[in-house]
Amino acid sequence: AQRVTQPEKLLSVFKGAPVELKCNYSYSGSPELFWYVQYSRQRLQLLLRHISRESIKGFTADLNKGETSFHLKKPFAQEEDSAMYYCALLTDKLIFGTGTRLQVFP
């Protein structure tokens, strides 16, 4: 079955703390994975995708095929990182996880 699992509904950290938002996937093919972000009252937008191996706003995500994971990490969280984060798997369509709300306190 094709599935994306984000085990944490809410992640709360203080400013400057490291952040890791977990994402695991289930897919028999070669996965193409994305992280999308939705800031308060804004539309969903692409944050990063694994094939480009980029760092956006200090976030990185590494695909680990052995653990079927694509966790999103940032070494030092900022208040403006507070948002809803969705991990997504591309098959013939985009399958989203249930999302993790990140709260960064000052």
Partner 1 sequence: NAGVTQTPKFQVLKTGQSMTLQCAQDMNHNSMYWYRQDPGMGLRLIYYSASEGTTDKGEVPNGYNVSRLNKREFSLRLESAAPSQTSVYFCASSAFETGTKGAKNIQYFGAGTRLSVL
- Does 56 help bind partner 1 (rule: CB under 8 A)? no
Q: Provide the CB-side half-sphere exposure for 32 (13 A, CA).
A: 7
**Separation of alpha carbons 19 and 13, rounded Å:** 7
Please, what is the Cα angle at 71 between 70 and 76, to 5 degrees? Answer: 145
> Considering the rule CB under 8 A, would residue 59 count as an interface residue with partner 1?
no
Binding mask 18-37 for partner 1 (x = CB under 8 A): --------------x-x-x-
For partner 1, the closer CB: 13 or 90: 90
Sequence-separated (6 or more) residues with CB below 8 Å from residue 24 = 4, 5, 7, 67, 68, 69, 70
Q: Any contact of residue 95 with partner 1 (CB under 8 A)?
A: yes
What is the nearest approach in angstroms of partner 1 to the Cβ of residue 99?
A: 5
**Window contacting partner 1 (CB under 8 A); options: 13-21, 41-49, 62-70, 74-82:** 41-49
Alpha carbons 27 and 2: distance in angstroms, whole number? 5
CB of 21 to partner 1, least distance (A): 13
Nearer of residues 9 and 106 to partner 1, judged by Cβ: 9
